[in-house]
Amino acid sequence: MSQEFITISPIDGREAVRRPYANEQQIQAILHQACAAQRQWQDVDVLERARVLTQAVERFVAAKSDIAQAITTQMGRPSRHAPLEVDGFAARARHMIAIAPYALQPVAAAPGSDRERFIRREPIGVTLTIAPWNYPLLTAVNSIVPALMAGNAVILKHSEQTPLCAELMHTAFMEAGLPAGVFSYVHADHATTQRLVRAPEVGFVSFTGSVRGGRAVEESAAGRFIGVGLELGGNDPAYVRGDADIEAAAESLVDGAFFNAGQSCCGIQRIYVARRVHDAFIEQAAVLTNRYVLGDPRDPATTLGPVVRAAAAQGVREVVEQAVRQGARNVADAAYFPAARAGSAYVAPALLTHVDHTMRIMRDECFGPVVGVMPVDSDDEAVSLMNDSPYGLTAAVYTRDREAAIGIGQRVHTGTFFMNRCDYLDPGLAWTGVKDSGRGVSLSVLGYEQLTRPKSFHLRMA
């Protein structure tokens, strides 16, 4: 068994980070310290927790340039885009801090008794956050900050592709005065991560990653009777109705498909377009796709960086090649993307037409800059195709008709439904999925429910 891991940068295939895995003695110490620190942290007033965590967020934002550089180096996001994730981290954290006093206040029982009755929301204890590399800050903040605001201690296990994000976050939080042990991180392999899920000290697990990874977490937690929040994969659809603003829809959906090199669980992968505007949409989308600049993400001119590793790029190419063999046409012009080359992590964007649901691009999650576009003849056909997927994280419709959008949204099996936008997460709304996209809720006031346990009080005066 390896005692360390090496992070390879997709930019040039060179070593970016080398770290030792935590050993059993270190794991035991982290768990023990987290339990001890949590017992004291839960007694800290929620407004004081808010003060400390607000300071932690400010410390983190102050290191934006270093954090953005770490993101670019570790997973290849263009340097012009990487700072946006720090801003997003801060916005989500500040929102969850602001709503905590309301979300955590006692709940009065419904009228019907002359006794005093209420329900308190109490912390679970120690929570484990298992975060992925594709959005190393945004996925982590969804559980870390509300868990801490609720009075829990948090142990963060980050992806081996983005270990610096965990370290930089921990440094900022400690410098802000968060008590030692309340927030910690651990570099762990799969076996040790499963051991953490099974650890009796851990009372809740938040996992963001693949469906296979989610199943592994559920299996490790089986029989423990603890909460498990799973935010898993997606193959998210969009529908462009005949009354849509085609130019605006194309601009939004091309960005939704290709931002972060398509490595987003809620990125757009399937687009259904009303037949009468299909050709106009394709024409506009092709122009926008061919404007991307694929290259070294450290170059300010680059708008499309590499995918996370060369093997992932090869997998994306295979999905495109398979679709083309089955009759699809790629209307993105390869001549615009000379940086794309076999054996590297650099893969050109693909805008596929003449696709159908026998193709992997329309059925499975493809974590890369690839999107398929199909014409449809009615709202009913669009809804049927949107629902023809094992995933259900987000879905979008582009239309000028609000009532039609709501009606379609009620019929689509998804966790979040958008009108005239996509690939976005509003911290004021519940972030959740259906089917193989997972279960549980993060963000919004509902996000506090899975990070606390209810305790009922029934008071009878003598």
Q: Is 15 a catalytic residue?
A: no
Say if residues 413 and 84 touch (Cβ distance below 8 Å).
no
Select which of 231, 318, 403, 449 is catalytic.
231
Say if residues 104 and 46 touch (Cβ distance below 8 Å).
yes
Say if residues 295 and 339 touch (Cβ distance below 8 Å).
yes
Enumerate the active-site residues.
Answer: 231
